[in-house]
Amino acid sequence: MYLLEMNHIEKGFDGLGVLKDISLSVKEGEILSIIGPSGSGKSTLLRCATMLEKIDGGEILYLGERAAYIGENHKPVYKKGEERRKLQSYFGLVFQNFNLFPHYSVMKNIIDAPIHIQKRNREEVYQEARSLLKKMGLEEKENAYPCQLSGGQCQRVAIARALALNPKILFFDEPTSALDPELTGEVLKVIKSLADMDITMVIVTHEMNFARDISDRIIFMDQGVIAVEGTPEEVFSTEHARMKEFLGKFHQA
Amino acid sequence: MNLLEIFGQLSAGMLASIQIFVLTLIFSLPLGLLVAFGRMSKNVIVRTVIKVYISIMRGTPLMLQLMVLYFGPYFLLGIRVTNEYRFYAVIIGFALNYAAYFAEIYRGGIESMEPGQYEAAQLLGYNKSQTFFKIIMPQVFKRILPSVTNEVITLVKDTSLAFAIAYLEMFTMAKALASSQKSMLPFVAAAIFYYVFNLIVALIMEKLEKKMDYYH
């Protein structure tokens, strides 16, 4: 069974088609990277998958359970209340600009939702948060506030915050685009370490080498459609003109 | 009469002014939040009604609003008001007026929040009220503190407007004393009172701002 299925997704803004009949699925333990030029719809696809944007067409399934579909009046139908919360707990999202809560300490950013939303045992959550911070190389920072951290550290806190809820699938929306090359490296290293832990991930990224190294499968999006899909080897050796042009620009840069 | 004696004579008025100040804040700060929600409501009727209310509160003098509240029941409806009503009219008038100002301050603060904060909260499973009270409001509070300080300082001085309906607060009494004593000293005493009152308010607000300084 697939963890996530998106079938025939359509999404437009003000009549402008951003996603055109997109279908994809993600298996447990799989790492899928989505690459492509700016404006190709990568982030919109992620925002639809995480229900930050409503779809105009198609359906979204998590663990075979229908999370969103188009109802009889052609309006999207989403689960509400408890069912919605359950679906929401299946996935986490790491944002491009972190979106940490600035008024909470690093520790509180991580533990607040597990304790107050998931109602889990306080001690257990604290212990798990500490071990997550250790994995992120931030064990010294639990009492710091986000404004005292570098961008790379903030992003690692954001990853820990998402992981603390034990999602089945973790989405990354250009996690290093707001970082300089040095900080990018430390965040990519952390994401790689998650790959070794068999966490299912869907990563929208502009880091081509990273995508090639880490992914089981890569999707190249262009103008709202999936132009190329396959293993890293297949995708990077494709004869698809647009993809070659896109990669060429990367090699030149 | 020396200044000290004048302060003694005016002490009841000072207490009355402080009472207006405190009660106005107690009622208008929460009421302002409700008004702000109404102002941002998706419901056109609610939003329009609130917009008109804010527009009138901000567009006409508070002194006039107090008079309408105090004399309105008799002139418009023929109801004879009791003496306590004078006090109620003052508090209702001030609370309604200041709620309108606070509402606009709240709205400005709430609308200045990055959408990313709501999105992060949604992804972490916070519901709407948890998102607002745990994530949004604390940050809004910090952002709007300087504007709130401004309003609170204005309120200290505005309490003197209650003299318009002859409510016995500080300024009403100082005016009466000045004319009966044919002396400027009661006005000096009044000036000192408002100035020291505001100094204390400013100090407290500054402390509060410092306390919120641990993040930005």
Across the interface, of A50, A101, A161, the residue whose CB is closest to B135 is: A101
Q: What is the mean pLDDT of residues A68-78?
A: 92
Residues 111-130 of B with CB under 8 A from A: 114, 116-117, 119-120, 122-127, 130
A178 versus B24: the higher-pLDDT residue is B24
pLDDT surpassing 60 at residue A253: no
* DSSP string covering B18-62: HHHHHHHHHHHHHHHHHHHHHHT-S-HHHHHHHHHHHHHHHHS-H
> Domain containing B96: what range?
3-212
Nearest CA distance, A175 vs chain B (angstrom): 14
> How many contacts (CB atoms, under 8 Å) link A and B?
55
What domains does chain A contain, in order, with CATH numbers?
2-251 (3.40.50.300)
- CB contacts under 8 A, B 127-186 vs A, are 127, 130, 134-135, 138-139, 142
Residue of A225, A227, A226, A200 lying closest to A215 (CA atoms): A200
Residue with tokens 């409806």: B77
Residues A109-133: tens digit of each pLDDT: 999 999 999 999 999 999 999 999 9
CA of B18 vs chain A CAs: smallest distance (Å):
33
Residue of A nearest to B128 (CA): A81
Nearest residue of chain A to residue B136 (CA atoms): A101
CA distance A188 to A210: 7
User: Over 90: is that where the pLDDT of A197 sits?
Assistant: no
Residue spans of beta strands (DSSP E) within A44-168: 57-62, 65-70, 76-78, 91-94
Chain A nearest C-alpha distance from B191 (Å) = 40
Question: Of A102, A113, A147, which has the smallest distance from its Cβ to B124's Cβ?
Answer: A113
Q: Tell me the CATH number at B79.
A: 1.10.3720.10
Asked whether the beta carbons of A20 and A224 are under 8 A apart, the reply is yes
Cβ of B124 and A117 within 8 Å? yes
Substitution target in B114, B117, B123 with the highest count of A β-carbons within 10 Å is: B123
Structure tokens at B47: 């939003």
Helices and strands, counts by H and E, chain A: 9, 11
C-alpha to C-alpha distance for B132 and B50, rounded to whole angstroms:
21
Chain B CB contacts of A173 below 8 Å: none
Taking CA–CA distances from B138, the nearest residue in chain A reads A103
- Chain B residues near residue A54 by CB distance under 8 angstroms: none
Q: Stretch A66-77: mean pLDDT, rounded?
A: 92
Looking at beta carbons, which residues of chain B come within 8 Å of A83? Answer: none
Count of domains forming chain B: 1
Inter-chain residue contact A99 with B117, CB threshold 8 Å = yes
Q: Which of A94, A108, A117, A166 to mutate to test binding with chain B, by most B CBs within 10 Å of its CB?
A: A117
Average pLDDT over residues A149-164: 96
Out of A52, A89, A101, name the one closest to residue B125 (CB).
A89
- pTM, to two decimals: 0.90
Q: Using one digit for the tens of pLDDT, what is the confidence trace for B108-127?
A: 999 999 999 999 999 999 99
CA separation for the pair A224, A17 (Å, rounded): 7
Q: Which residues of B touch A162 (CB under 8 A)?
A: 123
What is the number of residues in chain B?
216
For residue B142, what is the nearest residue in chain A, using CA coordinates? Answer: A103
* Average confidence score pLDDT of chain A: 93
Residues of B within 8 A of A93 (CB-CB) are: 123
C-alpha distance from residue A146 to each of A31, A104, B19 (Å): 29, 8, 41
pLDDT above 90: percentage of residues in chain B: 88
Instruction: Provide the pLDDT for residue A99.
Output: 97
Q: For residue A251, what pLDDT is reported?
A: 67
State which residue of chain B sits closest to A146, comparing Cα positions.
Answer: B215
- Which of A99, A100, A146 is nearest residue B119 as measured by Cβ atoms? A99
Burial of A14 (0-12, 13-18, 19+ CB in 10 A): exposed
**What Å distances lie between residue B118 and A99, A216, B163, CA to CA?**
9, 32, 46
Range A75-100 average pLDDT: 93
- What pLDDT digit, counting tens, does each position of A2-60 carry? 999 999 999 999 888 999 999 999 999 999 999 999 989 999 999 999 999 999 999 99
Ranges of chain B with pLDDT below 70: none
Kindly list the residues from chain B whose CB atom is less than 8 angstroms away from the CB atom of residue A147.
215-216
Q: In the prediction, which pLDDT does B132 show?
A: 96
Query: What is residue A252's predicted lDDT score, i.e. its pLDDT?
Result: 62
CA distance A170 to A178: 19
Q: Is B204 helix (H, G, I), strand (E, B) or coil?
A: helix
Share of chain A above pLDDT 70, in %: 98
Distance CA A53, CA B181 (A): 72
Among the partner-chain residues B114, B127, B138, the one whose CB lies closest to the CB of A103 is: B138
- Give the per-residue pLDDT at B78: 85
